[in-house]
Amino acid sequence: MQALVDKKQPHSESFTPFLQQSTTQRPRYRALFNYIQQRILSGELPAESRLPSSRELAELLSLSRNTVKQVYEMLQAEGYIETRHGDGSYVSPQLSLNQPTEQNSPAADTKAVRLSAMNEQLEQIRPLYHQHPQQLLLPAIAALDQFPWQQWQRSVSYAGKQMKFSSGRNFMGEPALRSQIAAYLNATRGIRCDMQQVMICSGSQQGMQLAFSMLLDPGDKVLVEDPGFPGIDGAISNVGGIKVSVPIDRQGFRTDAALSDQQDARLAFITPSRNFPLGFTLSLERRLQLLKWAREQGCCIIEDDYDSEFRFDGPPLTALQGLDGEHCVIYSGTFSRILHPSMRLAYLVLPPALVEPFNRMRGFMDGGLSSLPQLALADFMARGLFTSHLRRMRKLYKTRRSYLLLRIAETFSQQLIWEPSDGGMHGVFLLPPGSDDKAIAEQAMNEGLGIRPLSYYYDKQPPRSGLVIGFAGYNEAQIDSGLARLKPIIEHHIPT
């Protein structure tokens, strides 16, 4: 590339393009520094090129001489230029090796970054849907407009004052929050634990990643439900685990299919209170069979209890961990679905023997979480606001589910058949056999709907065709609007 500046005589006019640059977002000295820096790196100002004097450049660019001097001092401090006594400033000769030539352009000289084998593995996994807040009928979206913001802000303010008493170095999480979670789980879910067993995580996905890292070696098998939550696939693959898909029926995870042929599995990941997405509950007989298997084989069960709080037809079920499973069950819960998705707080309840190993691993993994949101949530729970909010949302979501079921029955007749469930934040509606639920969902997405195809959640088992429709975060008018957009799509694919 031909130099724009003579190496012997400075040509300040070559700097005039700087005058056409927009510098409203940056101080003038910083803008000029970046301009000269980039010209040097690109080779427009080659090594040993002489720069204009500070006075000359200042006059040309209508800047103060002090501004140009400051820029030259910054360039010299970072090694771009050097000052020669009595002869002005020059581009550093050491930069000649890094500047491009016609045969050695930046594009040709730059090799692609090599990714690990993990990238290839993740490319083979079902991609996750991206949620857009403006979409209607998204599953797993809470009623965000009902969140008690004023009370929460009071808790945040209180937490800010309490931070001075927190070291922020407890890898398991803030003791105040862990104590509140343990008390809540003991009272509502029958879980046997104390606060020492509770670990706070940045979302349930982080908790799963930590647990799999601690419990699995490459090649170890993990029993999972089919259909089930696809987000777990990446966490298993990330540690080299092998997913073993186990079919479910109306009594939940089929232990007869899982335990007879997979005795060498190291871990089971299940949703016993409510399978995602179908909502089936694991029967007591199968719960006891699974616990017996884990104790006898020295294996672990991860109990994902993602929205057990929203059971509409009866009191909450006793957690699997509470059925004599405190030594082999890791209980996982989250606040993101209950309170607000941006809160990013979840927790694990660990068997006593795993507390110290997990605590040690956490110290190397991320060093723990920010204290402020943890202390705020601890105060929110201590003042009874968490449980009162849950009661209100449980009642609201039940009402919204009833409205959705009524409107779908009126609008879609036999085109959509509800798959009964005792709670949750979404409903599953089966389509006639042979229907293309993915095509329907894709078209619905183009119409601003967040409806998911049921077949997406299946892995090895023959998929059923249906739609997963969220209702928790939407009032009656929004539900009506969403179903009105869905109606012509359904009629196009499934004529009455």
Nearest residue to 212 (alpha-carbon basis) of 198, 202, 199, 222 = 222
Neighbours of 254 (CB within 10 A): 16
> Is residue 20 helix, strand or coil?
helix
Give the separation between CA 76 and CA 7, rounded to whole angstroms. Answer: 18
Looking at 348-475, list the stretches that DSSP marks H as alpha helix, in order from N- to C-terminal side: 355-365, 371-382, 385-412, 437-446
Positive or negative, the Cα torsion across 352, 358, 362, 363?
positive
Q: Are 488 and 453 in contact (CB under 8 A)?
A: no
- Are the C-beta atoms of residues 468 and 451 closer than 8 Å to each other? yes
Q: What angle do CA 486, 489, 492 make, to 5 degrees?
A: 150
Looking at the chain, the number of H-run helices and the number of E-run strands are 16, 14
Question: How many Cβ atoms from other residues are within 10 Å of residue 367's Cβ?
Answer: 10
pLDDT of residue 106: 54
Tell which residue, 427, 431, 483, 459, has the closest CA to residue 139.
427
Say whether 483 sits in a helix, a strand or coil. helix
333: which residues sit within 8 A by CB, 6+ positions away?
181, 185, 204, 305, 306, 346, 347, 349
How confident is the model at residue 262, as a pLDDT? 58
Tell me the two tokens of residue 436: 């293309």
Q: Which residues pair with 419 in a beta bridge?
A: 428
Local confidence pLDDT in tens for the 496 residues of the chain:
344 444 445 566 778 888 877 666 778 899 999 999 999 888 889 889 999 999 999 999 989 999 999 999 999 999 999 998 888 899 998 887 666 555 555 555 678 888 888 778 778 787 878 777 789 999 989 999 999 999 999 999 999 998 888 776 789 999 999 999 999 999 999 999 999 999 999 989 899 999 999 999 999 999 999 999 988 999 999 999 999 999 999 999 999 988 876 568 999 999 999 999 999 999 999 999 999 999 999 999 999 998 888 999 877 788 999 988 889 999 999 998 889 888 899 999 999 999 999 999 998 888 889 999 999 999 999 999 999 999 999 999 999 999 999 999 999 988 999 999 999 999 999 999 999 999 999 999 999 999 999 999 999 999 999 999 999 999 999 999 999 999 999 999 998 7
Contact 228, 457 (CB under 8 A): yes
Q: Which helix (H) or strand (E) holds 466?
A: strand 466-470
CB 275 within 8 A of CB 252: yes
CA distance 173 to 368: 7
237, burial (CB in 10 Å: exposed 0-12, middle 13-18, buried 19+): middle
Residue with tokens 């004599």: 324
| Coil, helix or strand at residue 200 | strand
Which domains are delineated in the chain? 12-106 (1.10.10.10), 145-387 (3.40.640.10), 391-493 (3.90.1150.10)
What angle in degrees, to the nearest 10, is found between the helix axes of 476-493 and 385-412? 40
Strand partners, 91: 81
pLDDT of res. 99: 60
Q: Quick one: tokens of 294? A: 């884990």
